[in-house]
Structure 1
Amino acid sequence: MTVATKTTRLLAAALAACTLLGGAASAQEITLKLGHLANEQNIWHKASVKFGEELSALTDGRIKVEVYPNETLGKEVDLINGMQLGTADMTITGESLQNWAPMAALLALPYAYTSLEQMDEVASGEIGKEIEAQIIDKAGVRPIAYFARGPRELTSNRPITKPEDLNGLKMRVPNVPLFLNVWQALGAQPTPMAFSEVFTSLQNGTIEAQENPLALIQSANFNEVQKNINMTDHVRSWIYLTISELTWEKLSEDDQKAVMEAAKRAQEYERGLFADNETAIRKDLEAKGVTFTEVDQAAFAAKAKDAVLSGVSEEIRPTVEKIFAMQK
C-alpha cells in the first residue's frame, strides 16, 4: 500500500468518525421559546417568525422556535429574569437591560441619534460591540441581532408643541431610569408601568400620555383612547433579539453558527419592512382620526441634553458625549 493510499484511508476514517460524532451531537431536537410584547402585525413579530423559519431551514427542522407575542410568555423584565435563570430562552429587549448593564442605556438616548444612518453607525460599530459584550457579561443574555425602531413619539389628550406644554403631564414611561429622569426634567410627571397596563390606564385617566414608536402605538390600539400624536422624535433607537446565555452555552458550535446566521437574515428582513411600514402606519392612524402635531424639536432637544448627560452614569458619560458629537 502506498503512503498516499494509506494517508487517504486515514483521512477517510477520521472524517467518518467526525461525521458520526457530529451526527450524534446534532441529532438533538431543540425548541426555543421566544416571547415579546408586540402583537402579530408588528414587524418585530414578523422578524421573530422569520428567524424561526430560517433557523429551522438551516438545521433541517431540528431546531424549532415557538414565538409568543403580546406578553403571553411573560412581561419583558420577567422574561429577562427567566433567561438569567434558564427558564426562558429568548426575547426582544433593549434599554430595559440597563438595569443590569449600564451601557444598554446607549440604545435609547433621548435626542442623541438624529438619523437612522447615525444610529446604524453606532449600533453596528465599536460602541455597539462594547454594549453587546457588557450585556452578555452583566445581564446574562446575548444580543444576536438588532432591529430598527421608529422614533418614539408622545401621545396625549391634548396637543403638545413645546416643552412648557408638558408641565404636570401624567405620563407612562417604561422602567428605564434615564427616560424617567429626562421627562421629569422636561416638566412632566412620568411613572413607570408595564406596557400591558397602558391602554387601560389611558382609558380610565390614571395617565394622560405615553410615548412609544408609531408601530407600537398602532398595534396596541392607543388611537382608541388618544387622538393626539406629538412628533417629538425624542428617541431613535434599536432593540435586540436576544438569547439566554445559559441556552446559548448548551448549543453546539454548529448550532450557534446557525442561530447567528438565522438572526442575520431576520435582521435584514426586518430592515426591509421598516421604512415602508412607518409610512403605512401613519396613514392608517390618520385614517382612524389621529391628529399628528409637529413640535419644536430643537427646544425639546436643548432642554433634554443636560438631563441626558446628568442622567447617565459616569461610566458611560464619555461615550454619550462622543455620540452627541457624531450628530450631523
Structure 2
Amino acid sequence: MGTFTKMAAAFTVAALMGGTAMAQEVTLKLGHLANEENIWHKASLKFAEEVATLTEGRIAVEVYPNETLGKEIDLINGMQLGTADMTITGESLQNWAPKAALLALPYAYRSLEHMDEVASGEIGQEIEAEIIENAQVRPLTYFARGPRNLSANREITSPDQLNGFKLRVPNVPLFVAAWQAMGANPTPMAFSEVFTSLQNGTIEGQENPLALFRSGGFYEVQKVINKTEHVRSWIYLAISERSWGKLSEDDQAALMEAAARTQTFERELFLADEAALVADLEGRGVTFVDVDQEAFAAAARDAVLNAVDPAIRPLAEQIFNN
C-alpha cells in the first residue's frame, strides 16, 4: 500500500479534531471490512475519539476501513504476529477458539435482549476467555448484528412452505444443516454471485441481514422479506494480546471505558439503522411478512445442535434452554 493510500485510508482522531496536535506515545491500528457509511466504522471512530480523550492523547487509534489493512483472517493473523493491533471480528475466531461458533447459532437467541444476556453473562465470559487464550485476541466490547431474514418472491410463513426452496447460504455448515432441517434446499454460494443467481432463477431466495439485502440491491429482484430472524449474532471490537500487554494498567482501563462508551453509541446507531432500513426497503416496494418463528426454530434446533462441535454442545444446549 502506497503512502498516499495509507493516508487516505487511515482515520485519526487528530483529523476529527481539526488536526489538533497531541503528544502521542502509542498508535493502535484498527482495521475492519466495512465501508465508511457502516455503523461499525462510525463506532470505530467513536472509540478512537474516546481513547484520545481518556488518555489525554497518549494513545492514538488509526482506523482503516474497507479491508485496507487486510481481510479479517489476515488481520487476526497479523494481531497474533504483532503486525496489526485491532479489528472487528466474530465467529471467524472459531478457527482458533471453538466456542466462538456460539456467536451465530441459528435460532439460539430469541431476541436482542436474550442475546445480550448471553453475550454479557457467564457464557460470554467463557467465550472471551477461550478467544484470549487460544487466539491471542482480546475482546473489548461487542456490537449486535442485524438478524438474518429469508427473502423470496412469495410469503413463507412456516417451514412446511419451504418444500425444497432453492436458497443461497454462505459456506457455513451450521447454516446448511439448519436450512435442510427446515425443509429448504440450501446452496452455498459467494455473496458476489447472489444477485445474478436470483435474477436468472438459479436460486429462489437468500438470507441475510437487512443491510446486506439493501447494499446487494436484492430489492430489485426480491420483493418479500419473511421475518424469520433465524440468526442473531454479535461481533467483537478486539485488540491483540501483544498490543494489550504493552499498555499500562491505567491505559488498559481507559481502553475498556472507551469500549463501553462505544458500545452504547453503537447500539443507538444500530437500532436507528435497522428502523431506517425497513422504511427504505418498504419505499422500494419490499413487503415485510411476520412468520411462525417458533415453528422454524423447532424444525432447526436438533440439526443445529448436532452440527455443533461436541465440545461446545452443552453450552449450545444451555443457550437454547435459557
TM over 0.5: yes
Counterpart of 2:106 in structure 1 is 110
Offset at residue 314 of structure 1 (A): 1.9
43, 48, 53: which one pairs with 2:49?
53
Residue 250 of structure 1 aligns with an amino acid whose one-letter code is: K
> 1:301 aligned to 2:304?
no
List aligned pairs for 1:120-139, cutoff 5 A.
120-139=116-135
Q: 1:191 to 1:255 in 2, by over 3 A?
A: farther
Question: Which residue of the other structure, out of 29, 36, 42, is the alignment partner of 2:32?
Answer: 36
SS at match of 2:47: helix
Q: Which amino acid aligns with 1:213?
A: P
Instruction: Compute the displacement of 1:127 (Å).
Output: 0.8
The equivalent of 2:321 in structure 1 is: 325
Q: Which moved more, 1:223-232 or 1:125-134?
A: 223-232
For the pair shown, which has the larger CA radius of gyration, 1 or 2? Answer: 1
Inter-partner Cα distance in structure 1 for 2:289 and 2:96: 36
| Matched residue type, 2:115 | M
Structure 2: how far apart are the matches of 1:298 and 1:249?
Answer: 45
Identity %: 74
Q: How far off its partner does 1:281 sit?
A: 1.4
1:316 aligns with 2:312: yes
Q: What is the CA distance between 1:38 and its match in structure 2?
A: 2.8
The TM-score with structure 1 as length reference comes to: 0.80
Structure 2 residue 231 is the aligned partner of structure 1 residue 235: yes
Q: In the alignment, which residue of structure 2 is the partner of 1:280?
A: 276
**1:3 maps to what in 2?**
none
SS of residue in 1 equivalent to 2:272: helix
* Residue 162 of structure 1, aligned match among 158, 164, 167: 158
Residue 253 of structure 1 corresponds to 249
Q: Quick check: 1:38–1:219 contact (8 Å CA) kept in 2?
A: no
| CA drift at 1:220 | 4.4
CA–CA separation in structure 1 for the residues paired with 2:220 and 2:247: 44
User: Does 2:143 align with 1:141?
Assistant: no
Scaled by the length of structure 2, the TM-score of the pair is 0.82
Is the CA contact (8 Å cut-off) linking 1:151 and 1:237 kept in structure 2?
A: yes
C-alpha offsets along residues 275-296 of structure 1, whole Å, 9 cap, x if unaligned?
2322221011111222223333
Q: How far has the Cα of 1:44 moved from its partner?
A: 2.0
Given that 2:89 and 2:238 are in contact with CA atoms closer than 8 Å, whether structure 1 keeps it comes out as yes
Shift of 1:178: 1.9
The corresponding residue for 1:263 is 259
Superposition RMSD on alpha carbons, in Å? 2.7
Unaligned runs of 5+ residues in structure 2 are 1-21
Mapped to 1, the partners of 2:33 and 2:248 lie a distance apart of 29
Paired amino acid for 1:31: T
Q: Kindly indicate whether the alpha-carbon contact (under 8 Å) linking 2:93 and 2:135 is maintained by their aligned counterparts in 1.
A: yes
Q: Match for 1:42: what amino acid? A: N
The residue identity in structure 2 corresponding to 1:144 is L
